Copies of this chain bind each other. A is one copy, B any other.
Amino acid sequence: MSSPSPLHIALNPHIIEMEYAVRGPIPQRAAELRKQGRTTIPCNIGNPQALGQTPITYYRQVLSLVEDPSRIARERQLTRLLKGNSDPALSDKDLLSDYVLDLAENFLAQIPAGLGAYTESNGPLFIREAVAAYIDKRDKVGSTPGVNADPANIFITNGASEGVKHIIELLVTGPNDGIMIPIPQYPLYSATIKKTGGAQINYYPDEDHGWLLNREILQEALASARQNGVTVKGLVVINPGNPTGAILNRQTIADVIDFAEENHIVIMADEVYQENTYGAEFFSFAKVLNDRKVPLFSFHSISKGFYGECGHRGGYLEVRNAPVEKSTNRPLIELLQKLASVSLCSNTVGQLLVYLMVNPPAEGSEPYPRFIAEKTAILNDLYEKAMMIREGFKSMEAVECFGRTGAMYLFPRLNKLPKGTNDFDYCMNLLETTGLTTVNGSGFGQKPGTNHLRIAFLPPKDLIKKVLPEWIDFHNRYVNG
C-alpha cells in the first residue's frame, strides 16, 4: 500500500519566499567546489575562527573547568605538585591561574546544577545582573550616572539572532505592520520580516557620503510606507553596520531617536559589532537615549568583537521603555518571557560566554596581560586586514568603498560590470576563478542599478596577500569582458 510518489502538500508561503544570501547559492556552490577538492576562502560570513582566529585563552580555560568541575580541585593539586617541577615537558607554566580557578568555582556556586540543567528562560539572574553592570559601565558619562540597565529587562539568547526574531515576531500582527530596515541590511531582518508576514520598509543611507543616515532619509521611507497603508512599528539600525561597516556618530543616533519618538516607533539596535570600531568611539543607543522614553531593544553577541565565539551561540537582548500591548494592557516583557519559556532556555555555554564577555579579567589579575595581548592582537590584525583589502580596491577598475571601517566587512561598489551581468554573476565568477567566497550586494539589498559585494576581512594575512592579486587580476579582466 506504499504511495508511489512523495506527498505533495502546501507549505508556508512566507518560508518559501524567504531569502538568506549569507548561506545562499554562492556559499552553496563553494561547498560543492570543496567536495571536488578545490580550496575556497569563506569570506561570505563573519565566522572568524573558521579562518584561523584563535579563541581567547581565558574564556576557554573557564569553559573547560566548568564543563568538568572535578578538574578544579585536581588543578589545585597539580599546582602544588608541579610548582618548581623541572620536567621541561610539563612545568608550572602550564598551570591555570588561581584567578581562573576561583572564577570557575564562583560561577558554579551561583549555578549549582552546573551547565547541564535548564536555567530560567531569560537566563540566571546573576548573569543578567552582570550584563546590566557591563552596560552601565560602558554607557557611563564621566561621573554623571546614566539610566541604569535593569536585569529584569535583559534576556540571554542563542546568539543575537534569537532576540531579533522574538521582537519582530511580537511586533508584526499582519501584512500592514512594517519594520524599517536599512538597505543594505543583514538578511536576518528581511528573512524574519518575510517569515512573520509583515511589511519590509526600506530606508537608504547615503553611500556616497559614508553611508550617512539622517531624518530626511527615515522620513521619506516612513511617508512612502504610510501611503501604502503600512503602520511602521519598528526601526532597525545596525551599528557598526553590516554589511557596510559604517559607524554612526552620536548626533545621528540622537536624530534616529527623535524620529522614533515623534512617530511612535520602537528602535531595534543591532550592536553586535560594538567592539569592532578600530579606534572610532562607539555610542550605544542606550547611552544616547538616556532618560528619554523611547522603546529600545538592543542586541549583543559573543560571536563578533574580538571574541568570535560564533559556534557557541550566545547573546543578549536588553529592553528599555518596553511598550504595552494596547488592547490587553499586557507588558511586552511578559510576552517576551513567555516566548523565551517555550524554548525553555538558551544554551548554558553561550550564557557562560556572555557572562565572561561582560566580565573580562580584572586589571592586574594573573590572566589580564595575556587577555589584553590577545584582544589587541586580534583587533589590530582585523583592522590591518581590512586596510590591505581596501588598498587592493585601488587597483581594481571602477571600485569604490565608502564609509569608515567597522564591523568585519567591506562593501565595495562595483561601478563597472559587463553588460547584462550583475554582482551575483561577478561573485560567482570570482568564486570559480579564485576560490574567494563573498556575497553579492543584492543579497543584502542595494539601491536599484548599483552593484556591490560583501567581503568579511577575516582570512589570515598570508592568504589575503596571495589571493588579492588574483582577485585584482580577475576583476580587471572580468569588468572588461
Do residues A11 and B170 form an inter-chain contact, with CB atoms below 8 A? yes
Contact of A173 among B11, B90, B313 (CB under 8 A): B11
Do residues A94 and B118 form an inter-chain contact, with CB atoms below 8 A? no
Interface stretch, picked from A133-141, A334-342, A389-397, A414-422, is: A334-342
* Inter-chain contacts of A291 with B (CB < 8 A): 2
> With an 8 A cutoff between CB atoms, is A49 at the interface?
yes
* Inter-chain contacts of A312 with B (CB < 8 A): 115-116, 347-349
> With an 8 A cutoff between CB atoms, is A330 at the interface?
yes
Contact of A9 among B3, B23, B325 (CB under 8 A): B325
Give how many copies assemble into the complex. 2
> With an 8 A cutoff between CB atoms, is A83 at the interface?
no
Complex Cα distance A335/B17, Å? 10
A414-473: which have CB < 8 Å to B?
Answer: none
A: contact size bracket? 35 or more
A326–chain B nearest beta-carbon distance, Å: 4
> With an 8 A cutoff between CB atoms, is A401 at the interface?
no
List, sorted by A's number, 23 A–B pairs whose CB atoms are closer than 8 Å.
A2-B292, A5-B293, A6-B324, A9-B323, A10-B177, A11-B170, A11-B171, A11-B173, A12-B172, A13-B173, A16-B330, A20-B342, A50-B113, A50-B117, A50-B118, A60-B67, A64-B65, A64-B71, A80-B89, A114-B311, A116-B311, A116-B312, A313-B344
> With an 8 A cutoff between CB atoms, is A321 at the interface?
yes
Do residues A8 and B323 form an inter-chain contact, with CB atoms below 8 A? yes
* Given the contacts A12-B173, A16-B335, A64-B68, A311 and B6 also touching, CB distance less than 8 Å: no
**B-contact bits for A180-192, CB 8 A (1 contact / 0 none):** 0000000010011
**Looking across the interface, which residue of chain B has its beta carbon closest to that of A177?**
B10
> With an 8 A cutoff between CB atoms, is A47 at the interface?
yes
**B-contact bits for A304-330, CB 8 A (1 contact / 0 none):** 000011111100000001111111101
Contact of A10 among B5, B114, B327 (CB under 8 A): B327
Q: A5-B293, A15-B335, A116-B309 are in contact. List 17 more A-B contacts (CB 8 A).
A: A2-B292, A6-B322, A6-B324, A6-B331, A7-B293, A8-B323, A11-B330, A11-B335, A12-B171, A78-B78, A113-B311, A116-B310, A119-B311, A158-B347, A161-B343, A192-B342, A312-B349
A53-73: which have CB < 8 Å to B?
Answer: 55, 60-61, 63-65, 67-68, 71
Do residues B328 and A16 form an inter-chain contact, with CB atoms below 8 A? yes
Complex Cα distance A105/B312, Å? 19
Interface centre among A64, A266, A332, by most chain B C-beta atoms within 10 angstroms, is: A64
Contact of A158 among B74, B114, B313 (CB under 8 A): B313
Do residues B173 and A49 form an inter-chain contact, with CB atoms below 8 A? no
**Looking across the interface, which residue of chain B has its beta carbon closest to that of A187?**
B342
* Inter-chain contacts of A292 with B (CB < 8 A): 1-2
> With an 8 A cutoff between CB atoms, is A287 at the interface?
no
> With an 8 A cutoff between CB atoms, is A346 at the interface?
yes
**B-contact bits for A1-40, CB 8 A (1 contact / 0 none):** 1111111111111011010101100000000000000000
* Inter-chain contacts of A158 with B (CB < 8 A): 158, 313, 343, 347
A48–chain B nearest beta-carbon distance, Å: 8
Do residues B7 and A321 form an inter-chain contact, with CB atoms below 8 A? yes
Interface centre among A11, A20, A47, A63, by most chain B C-beta atoms within 10 angstroms, is: A11
